Amino acid sequence: MKLPPILERVFKSKSGRLTDKLRLKQNRQLGLIPARYDSNNIQKSICGYCSTGCQLDIHTKSSRPGGLRHGTTHPVNLGMACPKGWEALEPLNAPDRGRVPLIRDVDHTFRQAEWPEALDYFCQRFKEIQNQHGNESVAFLGTGQITNEELALMGALAKFGMGWVHGDGNTRQCMASAVTAYKESFGFDAPPYTYADLELSDTLIFIGANPCIAHPILWHRVMRNPHRPKIIVIDPRATETTAAATTHLAIRPKSDLTLLYAIANILIQNDWIDHSYIDQHTELFDAFARFVKSYSIDRAVEATGLPASSVMELASKIHEGKAVSFWWTMGVNQSYQGTRTAQAIINLALMTGNIGRPGTGANSITGQCNAMGSRLFSNTTSLFCGRDFENPADREDIGNRLNIPADRIPNKKSLPYHEIMKGIEKGDIKGLWIVATNPGHSWIDQSRWFKSIRSKLEFLVVQDMYESTETAQEADLFLPAAGWGEKSGTFINSERRFGVIEKVQDPVGEARSDFDIFKDIADHWGCGELFEHWKTPEDVFQILKTLSMHTPCDFSGIKDYSMLQKNGGIQWPHIQNQQNGDLPEKERRLFEDGRFHHPNGRAHFVFEETTPNPESVCPNFPVWLLTGRGTSAQWHTQTRTAKSKMLRQMAPGSVYVELHPADAHELGIKTNDLVVIRSRRGSLEAHARVQASVQQGQIFIPMHYPEVNQLTHPSFDPYSHQPSYKACAVSLSKRT
């Protein structure tokens, strides 16, 4: 495996070989691996990787973590965890952790700095840029990896304290299309399900999702389903999930929207719809029925490559199911028409009455451990809890609740992530603050990050656990942050469940929690008095409760962290003075009363003609490249998972490509041959895996390797602005 230079230096012995012994020795010197742990001293925490939100029981001794088990009684994971959960403590011990602030010197090397100097430098440089070029010349990029309390403080500090207008998060890359779809269809970003629905459905339909490896514990919940459910997977590629499904519909890339509209048409033509539900709880159905008339079975066959019988069979199974649930992830969201595709799924659930009942729903599973928290509290494109920056009443309301002048709240929305990037390229945005994300690896058409984005920035601050990421190595100022396990706060999982993360060890070196860094920046900037009541994460949790009151996500009935711990987490909404008081239900789904969040209480059918993929295959680039998650042992840019020996052993160490045997035969490629893959934007070399997991004319490369986004095409959904990572045109040849 190719390691970042800093990691290589630390992991390698003089002989140049990677040695775990050396690593263990270094960790012992740092006091990070206690020899024993006390099984009576257990702290319960929510896992800091994915949005499933599993509870981990961490055994500690002398304030240091030792062993780890998985919460056996927690309503989410029921005693299970995936490999990342088992290894959750490992990344804390990595030798490339940022331990002190670093300032880029005149000779372009990093020098160590004390915190006061680093914070002064942060404020001085950003203020200089703002004074010279205005408040819109700076921006921040956040993450779904930090706590609700940190997200809220970061957004409030930047926008109300420092006068910034623009800030977005890496959550734009994973579930912005689902957010926009829910807002337009339901009137609020409200994923309606509870995980128990996975066990209660008789028909589960997964679209662009591979939960076996992306959300293994949710797949475990499917395997517990006692109803012998039909499991249908719509995915161009044969995956671990399709192998376990009852039906795999291997469609052509990005033909999902046409298929979903055709299914809606078949359901309507056969009168397989729930008239009573449509009449009582929805609007715009008649227009939708007229719209989908042109989406015939023939049209679906032509777009998807499926036989007509498979299209018809899918519609029949939806009709026959008594409790049909639809689940989607990034195969839908990361598309140039992701919002409309998500809404086509929502439309199917609404027209068949498969929503608000056990085992049903139009259910987006999100990615990062606190992507759901960022949706409510990051204060990026929406003002707290789904409010609107452009609405004076909403600004007044937040100003009153926070006791800050409303005119400190920007009256316009932030630019979305890709517009911030474009603003940097155009020279409009000159200062950027990146917190816990790694666009140097993950941004689409990545070579632009280094060629035309980084070089245009006058000042780049990176705040992260590791000083070795591709992005941190480009920083002018690096601020070392505590990681999961070194701080406390709350996350929200995919089923809207708040859970507590616990501090089980002190941050390494001089690293500080993101919360403490934000507080310190506020004081150095001179706006600390605005946040005088935001003293601790739990103080901020209480503030967020008041901000949520009378909104659809109202969780003012959750007293405090101990109530969350006692109940295995609590799903929003949970409202004060409700009849069952301190005894929230273990599981709760939304819309059981058929009332949605639009003013008239009805859900909307939203639809639009399909459009062609912005990039097409051609004689020079004749192959479709699909990207996605590789194994359950890898997480995103591998910033953390690459630190675990066990996880490294479970995943291929270098980039590989899956290609179809017929294509391999034609090109004279065998498994393990080195092949060159080129797109209109860049190229990479990868080892071949010849297997029929992909269709002819398609290849698959996992997203976890830094080279992959040199190939991807920078197209974006027009409504959610989410990048379309999933299908771009490439060429393939054996390296000579």
Applying CB under 6 A, the residues found at the interface with ligand SF4 are 47, 49-50, 52-54, 77, 81-82, 84-85, 216-217
**Whole-number minimum distance, CB 587 to ligand SF4, in Å?**
17
Query: Before 410, cis peptide (omega within 30)?
Result: no
- Considering only CA atoms, which of 545, 532, 436 is closest in space to residue 498? 545
Using the minimum distance from each CB to ligand SF4, give the nearer residue, 53 or 386: 53
- Whichever of 128 and 199 has its CB closer to ligand SF4, that residue is 199
Residue number with CB closer to ligand SF4 (47 or 415): 47
CB of 252 to ligand SF4, least distance (A): 30
Both tokens of 6, joined, read 């800093």
Cβ-contact 267, 363 below 8 angstroms:
no
Residue 88 or residue 664: which is nearer to ligand SF4 going by CB? Answer: 88
Interior angle at CA 96, CA 92 and CA 101, nearest 5: 100
Is residue 166 helix, strand or coil?
Answer: strand
Amino acid residing at 211: P
- Cβ proximity to ligand SF4, 490 vs 731, nearer residue: 490
Least Cβ distance, residue 632 to ligand SF4 (angstroms): 7
State the Cα–Cα distance between residues 13 and 106, nearest whole angstrom. 31
Q: How far is the CB of 191 from ligand SF4 (least distance, A)?
A: 16
Nearer to ligand SF4, 180 or 641 (CB): 641
Would you say 399 and 406 are in contact if contact means Cβ atoms under 8 Å apart? yes
CB of 46 to ligand SF4, least distance (A): 7
Q: Measured between alpha carbons, how far is 283 from 603 in angstroms, rounded to an integer? A: 6
Whose tokens are 């280094």? That residue is 450
Q: Minimum distance between the CB of residue 86 and ligand SF4, rounded to whole angstroms? A: 8
Neighbours of 607 (CB within 10 A): 20
Q: Which residues pair with 625 in a beta bridge?
A: 699, 728
Residues with Cβ within 8 Å of 340's Cβ and at least 6 positions away in sequence, in order, are 181, 257, 606, 607, 608, 610, 719
Provide the minimum distance between the beta carbon of 81 and ligand SF4 in the complex, in angstroms, as a whole number. Answer: 4
Residue 217 or 315: the one with the smaller Cβ distance to ligand SF4 is 217
Strands 324-328 and 203-207, bridge-based pairing: parallel
Q: Which is nearer to ligand SF4, 180 or 368 (CB)?
A: 368
CB 358 within 8 A of CB 225: no
Nearer to ligand SF4, 365 or 711 (CB): 365
User: Which C-beta is closer to ligand SF4: that of 240 or that of 274?
Assistant: 240
**Beta strand spans in 621-682 (E):** 623-628, 656-659, 674-679
Q: Least distance to ligand SF4 from the beta carbon of 656, Å?
A: 22
Q: Are 651 and 633 in contact (CB under 8 A)?
A: yes
**Reduced to 3 DSSP states, what percent helix, strand and coil does the chain have, rounded to the nearest 5?**
35, 20, 45
CA-based R_g, the chain, Å: 25
Distance CA 99, CA 1 (A): 25
Nearer to ligand SF4, 503 or 721 (CB): 503
For residues 147 and 343, which CB has a smaller minimum distance to ligand SF4 in the complex? 147
Our separate counts of H helices and E strands in the chain read: 27, 26
Q: With both helix axes pointing from N to C terminus, report the angle between 338-351 and 176-186 in degrees, rounded to the nearest 10.
A: 40
Q: Which residue's CB is nearer to ligand SF4, number 369 or number 482?
A: 369
Rounded distance between C-alpha atoms, residue 181 and residue 340, angstroms = 7
- Rounded to a whole number of angstroms, the minimum distance from the CB of residue 151 to ligand SF4 is 18
Distance CA 58, CA 70 (A): 8
- Smallest separation, CB 548 to ligand SF4 (Å): 24
Closest separation in Å from C-beta 269 to ligand SF4: 41
Closest CA to 166 of 377, 478, 424, 405: 424
Structure tokens at 113: 């700095």
Q: For residue 618, how many other CB atoms are within 10 A of its CB?
A: 10
Shortest Cβ 158–ligand SF4 spacing (Å): 28
In the complex with ligand SF4, the residue whose CB is nearer, 370 or 613, is 370
Q: How far is the CB of 110 from ligand SF4 (least distance, A)?
A: 32
- Whether the CB-CB separation of 449 and 425 falls below 8 Å is answered with no
**Residue nearest to ligand SF4 as judged by C-beta position:** 85
Q: How far is the CB of 84 from ligand SF4 (least distance, A)?
A: 4
CA-wise closest residue to 219 among 210, 228, 230, 232: 210
Edge-first strand order for the sheet with 42-46 is 42-46, 55-61, 64-70
